[in-house]
Structure formats: C-alpha cells, structure tokens
Amino acid sequence: KVMVGTKVDENHVNWVMAYNMLTGIRFTVSRTNAKLDRELTDADFDAKHKFSFDITGNELTPSAKYDFKFKDYAPWVFRHLRATFRLDPADYLISLTSKYILSELGSPGKSGSFFYFSRDYKYIIKTIHHAEHKLLRKILRDYYSHIQQNPNTLISQFYGLHRVKIPYGRKIHFVVMNNLFPPHRDIHQTFDLKGSTVGRDFKEERLEKNPRATLKDLNWLRRHNHLEFGPMKKKLFIEQMQRDVALLQRLKIMDYSLLVGVHDLTRGNDERLRDKTLQIFQPGADRDTDAAAKSLARTPSKLENAQKARELRQLIKRERPVPMDQSTFRMPEEAVEGKENSIFYADDGGFGATHQNGDPGEEIYYLGIIDCLTHYGFVKRLEHFWKGLTESKTQISPIPPEGYGDRFVKFISSITMPREEAEAEAEAEARA
Ligand code: ATP
Ligand code: CA
Ligand code: CA
C-alpha cells in the first residue's frame, strides 16, 4: 500500500476539485436514495440533472464552500447498480464524504486521468475523458444488463457518473468505481496485463527505486508467473472472463487490462507499511507523533461507526438530506463488506490461489478487468495504422476489438494453471 498517494487537504492544488466532487456526490446520492425504490424506466438511462452550488445555498441545494456546478448522470441506474453490487447506501456516503479527505494517486497512466481513493480505500474516483464519458452513457444499458446476468463480473464496478465545473473552469467528468485492492492487505506485486508484448515491459532497473510499481506482460513472463488455480477455480475464472470479454468485443471496446495484485501469505503484512498507511488516512496524524497518537485515540470504534451508519440510514429513510459534516471513520480491519458476494472477491476480498487438489495456495489474487472505456474509434485506428507499419500486426496493443479480446483471453488462459502444471511446463521449456 505504498501507492496510497498524497493526502488531499486544504493545501493541495486539487483540494477544491476534490471537495466539489465529494459534495456533489453526497448531495445527489442522498437525494436519490431518499426516494422510495422503483423499477427502472427507459428514460432513467439517459437522465441527467444539473445542480448549482454556492456559498449561500438555495431551496434545492445546501450551501457549499465554493461555487460550482454539478451534473449527475443516470442516478437511478447507478442506485440500482450499487444495490446489485450490494453496497450499503449509508456506507457509500460515509466512505466518500466523511471529512472530504481523499488521497490522490496522481496520474499513473498515459491518459492523464487522475485517481483518488476514498479515505477508507474502498472506492476510486477516476477522472475520465469526454469520449469515455460519452461511451459509458452509450453502453449503460448493455453494461447494466450484463451486470444483472453476471453478478460475478470481473469488469470494473461503476457506482456513479458525474461532472463538476467551477466558474471559468473546464468540465471534469469522473466515475466512482471499486478499488480492486484491499485496505487490509499489502499487495506485494502488481501487474497490468493485456496479452500484448510490444511496449509491455516495465524496465526492471526502475524497480529498485519503485519496488511496488505496476509491472506488465513481459515482466510477468520473465518471472514465469502464473495464476495458480486448480481446475474448478480455473474454469470459473476463465468462463467469467470470456463472458466479460465477449461484451467488450460486442461494444467495440479495447485497450483494457487485467489488473492483478498479488498478496503473498507467507510474507503477510508489513506492519511498518501499515502504520504509514494509517497515518495517511488519519486526518492530521502526519503532523507529529503526539498529534498522531491523539488522533488515533479519537478514532471511533467499530461500534460507533455502526451507530453512525445506522443514524445515516435513518436519515435516508426519513427522506432528509444528510448533514454535510461527518466525523472520522477508521480503516476496516476485515475484507470490505458486500464484496464477498462475488466469488472472485470472496477470499478475504480477493481470489485465493489453489493447488491442483484444491488445497489453498500461498497467494491471494486481487483481480479485475480495468480501463474498459476506450472505444476502437478514430484515434486507435490511426495508431494501429502507424504502429502496424513497423511492428507485427498481432503483437501491437491497439488491434481491433475482436482480435484484442481473443488475444487477451488466450493470454490470460495460458497463464492460469496449477503450480504442478506450470512447473512441468517450465521444465519442458528448459529442455527444449
Ligand atoms: P492508460 O490509458 O494510459 O492505460 P489510464 O489513466 O486510463 O491509463 P488505468 O489503466 O485505468 O489508467 O489505470 C492505471 C493504473 O491505476 C492501473 O495500472 C492500476 O495500477 C491503477 N488502477 C486503475 N484502476 C484500478 C482499480 N479499479 N483498482 C485498483 N487499482 C486501479
Ligand atoms: Ca490502461
Ligand atoms: Ca485508459
């Protein structure tokens, strides 16, 4: 959990944006959840609602610290999606809005998107490009029915789609989604796998400086890694991946990856790292040790957290807006509730390795298909053309969606096997 990023507080350049995002989420989510549940209609998928926030407040919106506009997309669809993913409405609000503390991962990809973690590390806010925003709105019906038919999907779980704009600023689109990695376990290695080999190498020298960097396909192959599943788990995993990829192919989406975080049970958690994480997530705890100790002492107990959640639930039931300030909540010590409903997140928030005979292995994998909002459009076709001139056409990463998906499934299937099989394979390779 070294990649927890920097805390976004009042002194952070993106503080106003983060504050506005969270204020908007809090307002729109509690507004929708305060109403009696109902069936979705066709119009819900295209719905959008605009709100103006300012320092005085008006009959529709409460007062806020800054002036900004907030747009909420398909709120009923996302309410139903959150329910399908078994998120508790009160917990969702608590995670995303308590004290407005997020941590920023900066911009890890080439795309320029920013990533923010909720302070309990359960959710990620990702800023997305206008084209990605348009795509998500376009595919929302297909995504929704896929989720209904595939509750164990590996594809990113989207919980909300919103837009913020400050006066004279540009429009910023963002999604809220699941953090695949758990708050309570160290991830010892991270891989972003596409099934392509061209440009899919993280320079091993750079690992020394940044031991928790996200590695790629060639690094995986160089390590002779595999996803160690016995026949049952392998079947479950591959079949779900095939169904997910079939959807992405049908929607002409590409450039997605399988994100794999590996927790090595024999190494366990490094307590020093955990302390650091806690400091980042405890407001004020990084000022000095004394303050840290005090702040930890003030951290509410689990019981108090449960009490707060109950109060919030009551407010939502009574159709009251949720008050703007919430006190602090501690990092969960167990796997995130609700996540266990998917088989792939059922082993302590992840999917545990197994041996050939089904005995548990030494690793827990935290995995999912991420970055699923790139349409094979104009830009990619151009890129394909130029890259195709110099590199082999099947190995470059931007190939059309059909081929991209087939190659992805083939690669991931080929690295999924029990240890015994992998060892036999490595031996055969060495002999050849
Ligand atoms: P690019 O388009 O250049 O690949 P991007 O900005 O679209 O980048 P992503 O590919 O979505 O970014 O993610 C970049 C990195 O952020 C991932 O490799 C992973 O380390 C982390 N990340 C993204 N989504 C998640 C998630 N749901 N859970 C945990 N980590 C994530
Ligand atoms: Ca990516
Ligand atoms: Ca991307």
Instruction: State pLDDT tens for residues 318-328.
Output: 544 444 443 33
Q: Which residue has the tokens 């999924």?
A: 416
Average the pLDDT over each of 319-328, 366-375, 390-399 and give the range with the smallest value.
319-328
Q: Is the CB of 109 under 6 A from ligand 1?
A: yes
Mean pLDDT of 81-109: 82
pLDDT for res 9: 81
Percent of the chain residues past pLDDT 90, beyond the cut: 55
Mean pLDDT of 372-396: 70
Q: Which residue has the tokens 């963002």?
A: 174
Q: Whose CA is nearest to atom 16 of ligand 1?
A: 108
What pairs with residue 350 in β-bridges?
347
Q: Whose CA is nearest to atom 6 of ligand 1?
A: 109
Q: Residue 390: pLDDT above 90?
A: no
- CA 104 remoteness from chain centre: 13
Task: Output the CA–CA distances (angstroms, integers) from residue 74 to 40, 41, 132, 137, 148, in the order listed.
Answer: 10, 11, 15, 8, 17
Atom of ligand 1 nearest to the CA of 115: 16
pLDDT for res 303: 60
Q: Residue 86: pLDDT above 70?
A: yes
Q: 396 C-alpha to center of ligand 3: Å?
A: 16
Q: Is the CB of 32 under 6 A from ligand 1?
A: no
Q: Residue 105: pLDDT above 80?
A: no
Q: Residue 329: pLDDT above 60?
A: no
Q: Which of 114, 255, 370 to mutate to test the pocket of ligand 1 (most atoms within 8 A of CB)?
A: 370
pLDDT tens, position by position, 109-157: 677 899 998 888 899 999 999 999 999 999 999 999 999 999 999 999 9
Q: Whose CA is nearest to atom 23 of ligand 1?
A: 370
Q: 255 C-alpha to center of ligand 3: Å?
A: 7
Q: Whose CA is nearest to atom 13 of ligand 1?
A: 109
pLDDT band at 98 (very low <50, low <70, confident <90, very high): low
Domains and CATH numbers, the chain: 2-178 (3.30.800.10), 189-269+338-431 (3.30.810.10)
Regarding predicted confidence, which is higher, 390 or 138?
138
DSSP annotation of 354 = E
Q: Is the CB of 176 under 6 A from ligand 1?
A: no
Q: Whose CA is nearest to atom 25 of ligand 1?
A: 179
Average the pLDDT over each of 30-44, 270-284, 308-322, 357-371 and give the range with the smallest value.
270-284
Q: Whose CA is nearest to atom 14 of ligand 1?
A: 109
Q: Whose CA is nearest to atom 10 of ligand 1?
A: 371
Q: Residue 297: pLDDT above 50?
A: no
Ligand nearest to the Cα of 260, by number:
1
Instruction: Provide long-range contacts, Cβ within 8 A and 24+ apart, for 174-177.
Output: 174/21, 174/125, 174/126, 174/127, 174/128, 175/125, 175/126, 175/128, 175/136, 176/25, 176/96, 176/123, 176/124, 176/125, 177/123, 177/124, 177/126
pLDDT tens, position by position, 174-231: 999 999 999 888 999 999 999 998 889 999 989 888 888 999 999 999 999 999 999 9
Q: 306 C-alpha to center of ligand 2: Å?
A: 36
Q: 111 C-alpha to center of ligand 3: Å?
A: 6
Ligand nearest to the Cα of 109, by number:
1
Q: How many CB atoms lie within 10 A of CB 273?
A: 14
pLDDT band at 291 (very low <50, low <70, confident <90, very high): very low
Mean pLDDT of 226-247: 96
**How many whole angstroms separate alpha carbon 411 and alpha carbon 321?**
49
Q: Is the CB of 113 under 6 A from ligand 1?
A: yes
Strand ranges of the sheet holding 123-128, from the earlier edge strand across to the other edge: 6-8, 102-106, 115-118, 123-128, 172-178, 158-165, 68-73, 48-53
pLDDT tens, position by position, 3-52: 467 788 887 888 889 999 999 999 999 999 999 999 999 999 999 999 99
Q: 10 C-alpha to center of ligand 1: Å?
A: 26
Q: Which two tokens stand for residue 421?
A: 């099989």
**Sign of the Cα pseudo-torsion (215, 217, 219, 221, in order):** positive
Atom of ligand 1 nearest to the CA of 180: 28
Q: Which two tokens stand for residue 130?
A: 């206008």
**How many whole angstroms separate alpha carbon 268 and alpha carbon 263?**
7
